[in-house]
Structure 1
Amino acid sequence: MTLLMLKAIRLPITVLFFVILSGCSTLHKNNIDAPQVIFSTEDGMPIIAFNTELRLTIDLVAVDRLAKSAKLTQEEWLIEYFSATNRDAFSPDSEFFKLADIVSDNDLKVTKIYIEELARYITQAYFACKQPLYYEYFQQRYAFYKEDFFCDSAVPFDLLSRYSSNNIIYIDPNRVRDIHIVFASKDNNMMSKFGHISLRFVICPEAKSSKAECDANLYQHIVLGYMAHIDDIKINSIKGVLGGYKAYLYANSFMDVYQKYTISEFRDLYSLPLNLDQKEREEMLRALAEIHWGYVGDYKFINRNCSTLMQIALTAISHKFAKEPSLNHLYWRPDHFFQTLKETNISDAAQLEDLQLAESNGYYFPSTEPIYKRAFEVVQEAMVTTSYTSLSDYLIASPIERVNTVKNNHEYMNKLAKNDYLLEAQLLLEELSLIKSESLMNAEMGYFFDEYGVDDIKVHMMKNLDAKAYDVFSDCVLKPMLAVIQPKKRSHGIPTVESFKASAIDDSCQMEVKANSLKQVNAELEALDPEKWASVKLAVYYWLITIENITNYKALRG
């Protein structure tokens, strides 16, 4: 090692001298008769050592002194020390590689993650609460801390909402009554051909609420699930199979999930309770939060999908899942994973044996298709002559075609004005069309941003919009889109409350004062690539016409 190399590492020469002297020895995993000194001062005082029980010991006062002399923090000094030394004792093993694969950004080097997280484990007082999975790993390996940490704070999640691009919620572990595996039945889309699997947190109104009150508190229930960053309505099949999309552990409100699957996609939802005690539920909550805030990985339809990623995560988090023999096999099909879980003692499958009872108890949410089919039949009978032969035909038709069909049928219009039941059926169909139109609009927008490139779009908009219009673009278009395709990630675990104080939620994008700026934004996005923007523009236009249709129908109410 040359002096130039020593200088590049920025560690004091005396530190590097001991790094070099101690770098060739290895630490045996048997108990030792005397402490093994890894790094010491020039006069022989140990700074980093393993005691006779193989517990890592570090003199943080001495580390602080050395760090200050090098104008570094303790964490920075340890990172540079671990980077400079070449010891198996401070290198990732196979278990850490598995853990990093499910906890951190997969684009980062595992050795870099290991060194940085080890330094934080040693120096950060709340590491156990911010990064519980990494803390458990390091504690098992190094046993640096003699006492367990108690985490009493609520756990934050970045909720992906239909109505907000920045919705940080906090979950009190004491209010989590149950955790369920949620299975959405199959769909015709390629990525949903075998269903979708996720987790549902049953959150109580208060810590002392009854089970019935907790189960009924649906609007506060949260669902966590792995998904590709592009809606499967517009997903590229080749990229879905071979790779090209990013997977994240998204958080959604249960009611949004309910609407997406049972209403928009006509799929059944099964909610399977897991047999977990309060301690296990809290551990799972905090561990999943660490993954939610840190994980970014490749999404692949066959081997890196919602099912395999969830199985790997739950196995890493829960000893019950890790010890279950039937889960030694990795299930790439969500339906097979769900069926296997039903047959284990981990879950309470009895709750789904009688689906009628399960629906009453909040464990089964059937597709709403029969309701909308009945509404279509009511409208069809009253309209007498129509070109729609099925509900799907009606939903495929453009909102302009739909409303013109009604306006041109004067007899039907009179019936709508006089028959409340018929009017409600017509409204129900148009509101369903709105939900599907909204899904398509968001999918088209996400596809445009992903295909064209967020950075290129930002450069173009910054160049061609004034400051006011760019702020509107940032708040009303870019931020909501990035919440889906590039969720906020932090490589240092669960964020603290303080880190969100500067984040303000802008809910004024519907205000008239921003209308002119939004028109400018739309014009510039279209100018960027008229051909690619055309499908987005059409989807937005149909969405607006559908809203207008609903408003006009509601005006017929007496």
Structure 2
Amino acid sequence: GHCKDLNTTIFSRNQKIDLDPSRLYQVHYLFAAKGEELSSRWGHAMLRLVFCAPERMQVDEKCLNDVSHHYVISFRADIDDFELDNIKGLTGKYPSQMFVLNLDEVVKEYTQIELRDLKSLPLRLNEKEKEQFINKVLETYWSYRGRYYFLSNNCADETFSLLAGILGDKYQFAMQKFAFQDATLVMPGELYSFYLETGLAEPPSSNIAEQVSKGHLFESAQKKVKLAYSVISSDRSASTLKKYLNESQASERKVNFELMVSDSPQNQTKLASAYYVLESYFLIRKQSQMRKNLAQKIYEKDPEILNLYAEAKIQFSDTIENEILNLEYDGYGVPLARDQERFTRQNQKSNFSEDEFLSQIESVLPGDMAEVNAIRENLKLFIKKTIKTKQHNP
């Protein structure tokens, strides 16, 4: 039969990922604090897979440092109309989809773009449970398609169900202990409390710095952004932080920085440092917005971008559709090795070079690219002003 041909490889955009259970150190419950939008008002529930780097000989706590090899399981609404409709989200009009993402991109998305904390809670799973968990992830990844609701059958419910399948009686006992009435109405914050209070997870240190150093907490950039904003709050374009972050333009910030320095030359280093922090945030956020704008053009099949359509479907698959849904394979459930090889070949056929791709984006989104380039010029200016002042004040 084909059973020996089965393996643990999955695909995320152009990336081939091997979910080898023998390299898995821990599974964490990853909780994103609540955001401002209705869809994120209850936080977001995910699972973090702490894999060890291939060169590491031993699977132990040192693997917590191998963050480039950590992946995140995230159930999200597969939004195909680009404007998140709260009514659709509340009535289950969006299909639910399981994404496998790099930890670093998830940390960037929540802590730097959305300014939300991420808490990473180690779950107490034995070796057998970890192996069963990986098998469940593979099975779900290749076969799952559900309906996504903000209030039920959401990220927390999907995450809860994924683990319930492997923990069995242990989970049932924990549910009785926690007095869960209806597992389909669980919210991300409630799930965090559930894992902690039932002993299914290791409690975090009471020391915030220790949580950060162990990778159990990824702090939002909000404090840093607020502090930088307080330094430049006399900036003529800054009425409130929220308005400033949403409406400020790179050209305005450059002019206002130069005006403030001319008014208070002795504060140049402090001002340049604050503007640098804010400008770094603007760059990350603008690039994220540009990605969404490009995805929308692809979705609408804008005539300018039809020649980029196939490439962008892979590059931006999380906002368009799950590529796996279009993959036909011979087996059932988890694809066989030969099916995965075919999928890899399909991906390789459509690769652009990064430079070519960026030049194409520039032609399709000239306004966005101009703003990104202006932000980069500002960053050069602010760091130059910081260094120059420090040299004059040894």
User: TM exceeds 0.5?
Assistant: yes
Change (3 A) 1:337 1:255: same
Change (3 A) 1:411 1:157: farther
Query: Are 1:436 and 2:271 counterparts?
Result: no
Code of the residue aligned with 1:192 in structure 2: it is: S
1:16-35 to structure 2, matched below 5 A, reads none
| Structure 1 counterpart of 2:84 | 235
Aligned to 2:24, which of 160, 176, 182?
Answer: 176
Q: Deviations over 1:65-123 (max 9, x none)?
A: xxxxxxxxxxxxxxxxxxxxxxxxxxxxxxxxxxxxxxxxxxxxxxxxxxxxxxxxxxx
Partners of 2:382 and 2:140 lie apart in 1 by 46
1:364-513 to structure 2, matched below 5 A, reads 364-380=217-233, 386-396=236-246, 397-409=248-260, 411=262, 419=269, 422-447=271-296, 452=300, 457=301, 461=303, 471-475=307-311, 477-489=312-324, 490=327, 492-495=332-335, 496=337, 497-502=340-345, 503-504=347-348, 506=351, 508-511=353-356
Q: Alignment partner of 1:506: what SS?
A: coil
Change (3 A) 1:550 1:238: same
Change (3 A) 1:433 1:415: farther
Is contact 2:23–2:59 with CA below 8 Å preserved after alignment?
no
Change (3 A) 1:220 1:311: same
| Structure 1 counterpart of 2:376 | 547
State the TM-score, normalizing by the size of structure 1: 0.59
| Structure 2 counterpart of 1:329 | 182
- What's the offset of the Cα at 1:176? 0.9
Q: Alignment partner of 1:388: what SS?
A: coil
Query: Are 1:218 and 2:67 counterparts?
Result: yes
- Segments of structure 2 that go 5 or more residues without pairing to the other structure are 389-394
Is contact 2:257–2:271 with CA below 8 Å preserved after alignment?
no
Is contact 2:123–2:201 with CA below 8 Å preserved after alignment?
yes
Code of the residue aligned with 2:310 in structure 1: it is: S
| Structure 2 counterpart of 1:204 | 52
Partners of 1:412 and 1:168 lie apart in 2 by 54
Is contact 1:233–1:440 with CA below 8 Å preserved after alignment?
no
Is contact 1:158–1:168 with CA below 8 Å preserved after alignment?
yes
Q: Percent same amino acid among aligned pairs?
A: 24
Is contact 1:166–1:483 with CA below 8 Å preserved after alignment?
no
Is contact 2:224–2:277 with CA below 8 Å preserved after alignment?
no
| Larger-Rg structure | 1
- What's the offset of the Cα at 1:188? 0.9
Change (3 A) 1:304 1:232: farther
Partners of 1:390 and 1:209 lie apart in 2 by 51
- What's the offset of the Cα at 1:433? 0.9
| Structure 2 counterpart of 1:108 | none
Partners of 1:126 and 1:385 lie apart in 2 by 65
Change (3 A) 1:537 1:519: closer
Q: Which has the higher contact order (CA 8 A, sep 6+)?
A: 2
Change (3 A) 1:280 1:322: same
Is contact 2:78–2:318 with CA below 8 Å preserved after alignment?
no
Change (3 A) 1:402 1:302: same
- What's the offset of the Cα at 1:185? 0.9
- What's the offset of the Cα at 1:539? 4.9
Q: Deviations over 1:126-154 (max 9, x none)?
A: 18x85xxxxxxxxxxxxxxxxxxxxxx4x
- Segments of structure 1 that go 5 or more residues without pairing to the other structure are 1-123, 131-152, 160-164, 523-535
Change (3 A) 1:252 1:374: same
Change (3 A) 1:196 1:233: farther
Code of the residue aligned with 2:215 in structure 1: it is: G
Code of the residue aligned with 1:403 in structure 2: it is: K
Partners of 2:297 and 2:15 lie apart in 1 by 24
Change (3 A) 1:341 1:308: same
Q: Deviations over 1:433-471 (max 9, x none)?
A: 112222333334445555x4xxxx2xx74xxx7xxx854
Change (3 A) 1:233 1:377: farther
Change (3 A) 1:499 1:317: farther
Code of the residue aligned with 1:377 in structure 2: it is: S
- What's the offset of the Cα at 1:392? 2.8
Partners of 1:488 and 1:323 lie apart in 2 by 38
Code of the residue aligned with 2:314 in structure 1: it is: K
Code of the residue aligned with 1:309 in structure 2: it is: E
Is contact 1:180–1:199 with CA below 8 Å preserved after alignment?
yes
Change (3 A) 1:540 1:307: farther
CA RMSD of aligned residues (A): 3.3
Partners of 1:268 and 1:210 lie apart in 2 by 28
Q: Deviations over 1:318-362 (max 9, x none)?
A: 3233554345621332111221222113222x2255444323322
| Structure 2 counterpart of 1:48 | none
Is contact 1:231–1:443 with CA below 8 Å preserved after alignment?
no
Partners of 1:483 and 1:166 lie apart in 2 by 12
The number of equivalent residue pairs is 370
| Structure 2 counterpart of 1:363 | 216
Is contact 1:182–1:197 with CA below 8 Å preserved after alignment?
yes
Is contact 2:24–2:59 with CA below 8 Å preserved after alignment?
no
Partners of 1:444 and 1:312 lie apart in 2 by 34
1:238-277 to structure 2, matched below 5 A, reads 238-277=87-126
